[in-house]
Structure 1
Amino acid sequence: MPLDRVGAGRPHTDPEFGVQRDEDSMPQEPARERAQEPAAPRVTDHGGGVHSIEVPIPDNPLGHTLVHLVDTDRGPVLVDTGWDDPDSWDTLAAGLRALGTDVSAVHGVVITHHHPDHHGLSGQVREASGAWIAMHAADAAVVRRTREARPGVWLDYLCAKLAAVGAPEEHLAPLREARTSGRMRTLPGLRAALPDREIVPGDLLPLAGRRLRAIWTPGHTPGHVCLHLEEEHPSGLPGNGRLFSGDHLLPGITPHIGLYEDPDDAVETDPLGDYLDSLERVGRLSVAEVLPAHQHAFTTAGARVRELLSHHEDRLTGLLSLLAVPLTPWELAERMEWNRPWAQIPYGSRTIAVSEAEAHVRRLEKLGKVERVPGGGVVRFRSV
């Protein structure tokens, strides 16, 4: 994934877009056998009956997902589960054993969002334990559509979408060849478990002996939720409890915000606008500590929210300057500032970068600051 400007930290590399390696154009499904026995699980005690387990994400620079365990009066409840991979499963199981419990004892699974590094192992956990799985309705709908999609629908949609925003033929050719030859890798999410409980924004989740409230925070996905643990901090830190923030609020990474409509969606969404509104909502909670799904726990939620809001405001201002001349979203992404020159950005990461450029242009369009240039088969935008 291209990296953003230093001020707001690295953008999130989204594992659902495939292995991010320069030599990969259309990566095939990775081999499932283990190269070696996984290392001992890294488990952190956050106090007050809350722990985290570092569950690895295979072949991805992001490294791992922090799966959190919350003790309840009816047994352990997991916040996210990690990627669907044998080594990841072994690490999760070993981490639970290190905490004096077992996968079979898990009472429930709360999913912050549908991405496979968070939801991937949910089905296996449910099979081993009978645990319920809870997810926001908007992301549950994504899971359902993905499972029901006909083979090739995603690639057809992606090809058409990329062509419409100005992607060159050399970027489209591998996608078209994979579609016609049938050499499509198995996309993450095709086997994802369907949740059996709905997370309703504002409601307390059914955790016996705990007050865990759902905060809807769309942006990274349409149904992303943060989870507010409404309890006094175990170390007495000032603030209103703790927040399981998923990918919404991370200490040193700017989450990827791209367009999230699907092939059958006729509504033009505004993910960046959703994300900025969600950031402000989370900032008003004034939590004592944030427990994110990546990197590490931190206590500066308010400052981090302000930093991210400022970052996106600066980026939108910069894009307005670039759009003084009409540009396609692809041309705009080529001119945006990433962690490396555009020519050095891997194939799959370019698709992610263009989606991010589209989300920023969509926000500017919603604000009435840019307009579409009429005519032509490829969409172009310019500042108003």
Structure 2
Amino acid sequence: MKKYTLILLTLFVTQRLFSQTLTLPDAVSMALKNNLDIEVLKNNVQIADINNHISVAGGLPAVSATITDNESSTNVNQKLNTGVEIKRNGAAANQLNSNVTATMLLYNGYRVKAVKKRLEQAELQSLQFVNAQVQNTIAAVMTRYYDVIRQQAYTRTIDQSIDVAQKRLDIVKAQQSVGLANNADLFQSQIDLNTLYQTKQSQQLIIEQAKTDLLLLLNVRPDTMISIRDTIVVDRGIVLDDIMKNLNRNAELMAAEYQIRIAEQLVKETTALRYPTLRANTGFNYNRNQQAAGLTLLNQTSGPFIGLSLGIPIYNGGVFKRQEQIAGINAKNAALQKSILLRNFSNAAVRTYQAYTMNLQQLDDQKKIVDLARQLLNLALQRFQLRQATIVEVRQAQESFENAGLIMTNLSFAAKAAEIELLRLINELK
């Protein structure tokens, strides 16, 4: 008995857990936490941060040590000018060479400085890629969230129409009971009511699929039960001039700006290849050569050394010059790509703002139309009850009310979607 009680309690808690109301802040927070694309971009930021170091740019000394120890067996045959002759087979010999060397770059046309600057810009660019993905994710979640609300709002319109259809059926039954209505009106009223129930079921499927699409963005199980209770409220204070002035805050545009700076540093890097390279070298050598036979039985040397090395590129077929020209063209292309992005975003901002203002205007008008359609429906139902209107007139009033409600919910959603897109363009979604 305790076992069954525990199972039922677990099922109840699980149902409560997955049927809780999902708010927009919770949905956004969950999506940002679980988004795999954002995780990949964050990893790229870590890579860029690790890579952004003076050692990667070549600005720190390099220290290396080498040891070579060779053991050999040789045949010795030597004749000295003193008349002494040395002849021995299988004489053991050992050669030990070792050194520790430190090399410090002194000058290479400021290439190290250019590389370090490029790595800094690459890290900043990777952060903007994350910001862009965050904005895109928030926009997608908000749009899907409000789409669910839109579909639920239309369902409420259908429910109101069902109430009217039920009242109409009750009126027909009452009239038929006193001989004032025929079976045709009764059958038609019942058919219309059943059709509305089917429409509601189809609409419920649309809602469930919209929730499933939202769950995909949240990266949770698609069969998770969620409940959304919210309304669509559109911010009416957005001004086009403010959007256009703040387009430079767009994360993709900022990433394009960093790409220009990266390309400019690459130009400096390739230019530096044509300059001399000066290095300071220092270290310590230890060499030991020992033989079992021969003129020199032991030769050992050790000591520090210091020096300079200078490398001057004289001619390599013009490769460096061509690389510099290519880097310059890439820098121009980076600037052009930013200009293209700015042009496209400006166009998108204007078009979206036009849709935003038009949807708001139509929404205000549509609210009045919905009120009129509701009044017309109530009036038609009253007249039908008084046998002053036909069943066809009531059906037409119902259809007008349903269509008006559908248009209003679509306009409200379209205005909200335009608002979301405008805020995304200026990196303002939170």
TM-score between both structures, scaled by the size of structure 1: 0.24
Q: Which has the higher helix share?
A: 2
Larger radius of gyration: 2
TM-score between both structures, scaled by the size of structure 2: 0.22
